[in-house]
Amino acid sequence: NINIVDPNMPTQVNPQKQKTAFPPNFVHSLDASHMVLSAIECKIAGLVFASVHDSYWTHACDVDKMNTILRDQFVRMHTEPIMERLKAEFEERYSDHMLPVASWDYVNSFSFEKNGALKAGTQRLSKTTREQRRQLVETELARLHLETCEDTVGEDMVQQQITANDAELAESMEPVDLTSIELVDSETDPVGAARQADLIAYTTRINAGRIRDERKAIMKEHRERVSRLRSYFTRQAKAAKAAKAERKPRKKFGSVEPTVESAEPTSKPQVVTEAGKLEAADLDAINSGVLAQDSLDTYIETLKLDRDLQIDRLQAKYPTKFDRPLIISLPAGSRAAEVEQLKLLIKQGKLAGRLVKSHRFDKLTFDDLPAQGDFNINEVLQSPYFFS
């Protein structure tokens, strides 16, 4: 049989083997470093030196000298910040390195009626979202790298079915205060975090509807207010024109001298005050002389600014965005019990989202080093158990 291997093709990575293989290899490299340091010092001291891994030889007359050299070089090497340097080297060398990761993501995918009730029935989404289509090649490469992959991306994108408990779930949904909400830690309580994510998503959707409805009401009220003002001043202009026509001098038939009909001065038109006509603020502006026919356009511009300010305040009153991503990721395989619990709650209609098996590349990160122990490395110099 002939096997052709392309070294550039992605191959499966066994995380467990990677974890168990590195520590002994690293320790072997430290043994080799100690051997090299010892060989150099033995040469400087004029000793004949031979070794195989961690077994060292010299002439019998020089064994004590070699023993001292071995201990000194061991202490010298291990007083250096070996682990700190290793971590710094890894962080620099692999700063742009990405690792394939498989995880179960809890995603809010439910929708609501206008009154806030959950829409009945299972909502099926497309097999791939726009973002996943954009990253399709990367996703497939990550999936090929992982031995734990069992399903295809398309199959995993199907939403978990919500049963007939939709009504119970809808009744349990209440908007929350997004400005003072205390977030649940998804690492320690993924179910609680998923429930909270449902409430946050529900609140943002409800708030979006509130903003839409109140914006329409504000716009309608503004249009009607402007319309009433324009109608009022139109009627006032017509009344003033009619009054002026009545006061115009008239000539009597056959007379050269014009005579003016006596008439009582026309009184100032009264401002309408009936409910539903003009706003109280507009009436005050007219009666005080602030608002007149020639200043109507400027006054309306002021009303527009006030209208826009009211609309802008709606976003602060009803937040529709939340800084925390409403996606809870659980590593595939390592938290199987919690994943199954989420699946059950979704199936029972107690959670409104869905679970998605995702495959992606995440940036490689390194944990902080544990605290150093209290062992004094200098004890090696006097211990009868080292290099004896």
Catalytic residue among 6, 31, 54, 312: 54
| Token duo for residue 380 | 């090696």
Q: What is the largest CA-CA distance in the chain?
A: 159
Residues 6+ apart with CB under 8 A from 380: 71, 74, 75, 386
**Catalytic site includes residue 308:** no
**How many Cβ atoms from other residues are within 10 Å of residue 217's Cβ?**
11
CA distance 90 to 17: 19
On whether the CB atoms of residues 91 and 365 are closer than 8 A, the answer is no
CA distance 332 to 146: 11
| Token duo for residue 332 | 């595939």
Which residues sit opposite 104 in a β-bridge? 330, 357
CA distance 75 to 253: 134
Residues 6+ apart with CB under 8 A from 341: 191
Cα–Cα distance list, 186 to 195, 329, 347, 357, 387 (Å): 10, 8, 20, 17, 50
CA distance 101 to 330: 11
CA distance 41 to 53: 17
Active site residues: 54
